[in-house]
A and B are shown apart, each in its own frame.
Chain A
Amino acid sequence: MRIYADNAATTKPSRTAIEAMLPFLGEEYGNPSSLYALGQRAKEALEQAREDIAAVIHAEPKEIIFTSGGSEADNQAILSAAEAGRGAGKRHIISTAFEHHAVLHTLKKLEKNGFDVTLLDVHENGVVRPGELEAAIRDDTCLVTVMSANNEIGTIQPIRELGAICKRRGVLFHTDAVQAVGHIPVDVSADNIDLLSASAHKFHGVKGTGFLYVRKGVRLTNLIEGGAQERGKRAGTENVPGIVAMAAALKESAAHMDGNAARMRSLRDRLIAGLREIPHSALNGDAAQRLPGNVNFCFEGIEGEGLLLHLDDRGICASSGSACTSGSLDPSHVLLAIGRVHDVAHGSLRLTIGEDATEEEVDYIIRNVKEVVEHLRGFSPVWRDLTTGKARFIL
């Protein structure tokens, strides 16, 4: 048995996506830049995909630039806004402490190049407060970049309110919507989003494809030079199969979004209720304002990697924010940003269920997480100190 509960890491490509891309892996191998019919058919497929994707997020087809994925889109969006800001003498950027590293590392690079970065507090519930954005905007602010939904704790940000503030204050607004697109409604028009990043493999497309939405009139800086593709803004022969699969996957996700989300929310809440029964545990992130499939817990007295390995033995694929799973000494920057101390952050577990999850699977996960946590606590010196009163419980 395998229960895949790591959909925030990647999703299974849908049947629809695979079937849509198959012709372009075979007979329809033309280069969209070629003028003969074979090439022009690829071009048509590419433009149809652009139209389909634009429609889902309420954009114009011209406002969609295909990229290699979410990280590239994040990089290009931020560097473009910074470049424009630099030209206007504006070198201040506002973001949050729990962004994806594709955003944070790009901001670090800009800081070294003379930019000033303000990271908004995400508070204990993992949600930005619009009033604090309002207060942080300065005369020299050129960009606000806040993710639509967090990849670890699943908290959904008040994007519409943030977008409205940015519009009123005349500041560019970018959102990393990698975890949101295909899962919750995204409307770049109503939300006043200027730049948005998305990645196909997070919504049942295939890896290596994503897109950047860029509002008409916002200037882009190229990361990759060398051709006229994507209106000169992203060189390189387009990944036609991947792009066609992305559009098919997104159309499908959007068509079933409401029903899927409602069912997943109910399973998510069942999973949360079940895991809450484990003593000295805590849900990370707001319980209500979160993605339909995201569950993230901290269990005191244990370390996350052991938990993952035992769950893998029991057929459950999950992830953790512990240092050991990240290959660094520090646990997840997201958990630290919501105020979890190191000792507790090491014992985290992220379960992100998919659209096809069942009640039986959720109950199996609950049962097994309970058993494994108990097993690991059974020989944890930290747990012993906590239960014998030598140390004080945090959770």
Chain B
Amino acid sequence: MALYSEKVMEHFRNPRNVGVIEDADGVGEVGNAKCGDIMKMYLKIEDDTITDVKFETFGCGSAIASSSMATELIKGKPVADAMKLTNKAVAEALDGLPAYKMHCSVLAEEAIQSALADYYEKHPDKKP
């Protein structure tokens, strides 16, 4: 049995939405280098919809795949949907993660939450 599912490997090999959004509406960074995982998410939001999302990740294969999958799951979606994204949904979309790698999906959820929090801080009028 391989370490990861084919889906994880596919996202690890060809991560989606990699990069930076210079004029992002919300930016979130979670994790720390000491523990070996850092995820940074950049959101572009128009009319309560996530029109663009990019990420940068320092971490293992499943951290990279989780970031990539998380961006796919929220891109083009209403902000309200992104708010509800759970780590479980990310892991399921990847056809599962090994138990000791579940924290990677948690980190992806937290990175998005952190970017949304940043967005609301900059745009208090948008707060639901």
CA distance A329 to B100 in the complex (A): 10
Confirm or deny: B40 has a beta carbon within 8 angstroms of a beta carbon on chain A: yes
Confirm or deny: B25 has a beta carbon within 8 angstroms of a beta carbon on chain A: no
Given A303-B36, A343-B33, A382-B60 contact (CB < 8 Å): no
When the two chains form their complex, are residues A302 and B33 in contact, meaning their CB atoms are under 8 A apart?
Answer: no
Confirm or deny: B64 has a beta carbon within 8 angstroms of a beta carbon on chain A: yes
Smallest CB separation, A388 vs chain B (Å): 11
Please tell me which one of the listed residues B20, B33, B38, B64 contacts residue A306 in the complex, with CB atoms under 8 A apart.
B64
Interface string of A320-363 (1 = CB under 8 A from B): 00111101010100000000001100100000000000000000
Inter-chain contacts of A23 with B (CB < 8 A): none
Please tell me which one of the listed residues A310, A313, A324, A325 contacts residue B59 in the complex, with CB atoms under 8 A apart.
A324
Confirm or deny: B119 has a beta carbon within 8 angstroms of a beta carbon on chain A: no
Interface string of A269-309 (1 = CB under 8 A from B): 00000000000000000000000000000000111111001
Given A303-B60, A379-B19, A382-B58, A323-B12 contact (CB < 8 Å): no
Please tell me which one of the listed residues A309, A331, A378, A383 contacts residue B36 in the complex, with CB atoms under 8 A apart.
A331
CA distance A306 to B35 in the complex (A): 15
- The SS class assigned to the B binding surface is mixed
Smallest CB separation, A305 vs chain B (Å): 4
When the two chains form their complex, are residues A379 and B18 in contact, meaning their CB atoms are under 8 A apart?
Answer: yes
Confirm or deny: A381 has a beta carbon within 8 angstroms of a beta carbon on chain B: yes
Please tell me which one of the listed residues B13, B57, B60, B61 contacts residue A380 in the complex, with CB atoms under 8 A apart.
B57
Taking each of B33, B37, B56, B64, which has the highest tally of chain A beta carbons within 10 Å of its own beta carbon? B33
CA distance A91 to B64 in the complex (A): 49
When the two chains form their complex, are residues B60 and A379 in contact, meaning their CB atoms are under 8 A apart?
Answer: no
Q: Identify the closest chain A residue to B57 (Cβ).
A: A379
Confirm or deny: A384 has a beta carbon within 8 angstroms of a beta carbon on chain B: yes
When the two chains form their complex, are residues A303 and B56 in contact, meaning their CB atoms are under 8 A apart?
Answer: no
When the two chains form their complex, are residues B100 and A383 in contact, meaning their CB atoms are under 8 A apart?
Answer: no
Interface string of B24-56 (1 = CB under 8 A from A): 000001000111111110000000000000011
Inter-chain contacts of B15 with A (CB < 8 A): 379
When the two chains form their complex, are residues B60 and A302 in contact, meaning their CB atoms are under 8 A apart?
Answer: no
When the two chains form their complex, are residues A380 and B58 in contact, meaning their CB atoms are under 8 A apart?
Answer: yes
When the two chains form their complex, are residues A342 and B33 in contact, meaning their CB atoms are under 8 A apart?
Answer: yes
Smallest CB separation, B33 vs chain A (Å): 4
Inter-chain contacts of A322 with B (CB < 8 A): 36, 60
Chain A 207-257 residues near chain B, CB threshold 8 A: none
CA distance A325 to B62 in the complex (A): 12
When the two chains form their complex, are residues A381 and B38 in contact, meaning their CB atoms are under 8 A apart?
Answer: yes
Given A301-B58, A303-B60, A324-B59, A381-B36 contact (CB < 8 Å): no
When the two chains form their complex, are residues B57 and A323 in contact, meaning their CB atoms are under 8 A apart?
Answer: no
Smallest CB separation, A48 vs chain B (Å): 41
**What are 25 of the A-B contact pairs (CB < 8 Å)?**
A302-B58, A303-B58, A303-B60, A304-B60, A305-B59, A306-B60, A306-B64, A309-B12, A309-B61, A324-B63, A324-B101, A329-B35, A342-B35, A342-B36, A343-B33, A343-B34, A346-B36, A379-B15, A379-B57, A380-B57, A381-B29, A381-B39, A381-B40, A381-B56, A384-B56
Known: A305-B60, A342-B35, A379-B15. 18 other contacts (CB 8 A): A303-B58, A303-B59, A303-B63, A309-B12, A313-B13, A324-B61, A324-B101, A329-B35, A342-B33, A342-B36, A379-B19, A379-B55, A379-B57, A380-B38, A380-B58, A381-B29, A382-B38, A384-B20
Which 5 A-B pairs rank lowest in CB-CB distance, beginning with the nearest?
A324-B60, A305-B60, A343-B33, A381-B40, A381-B56
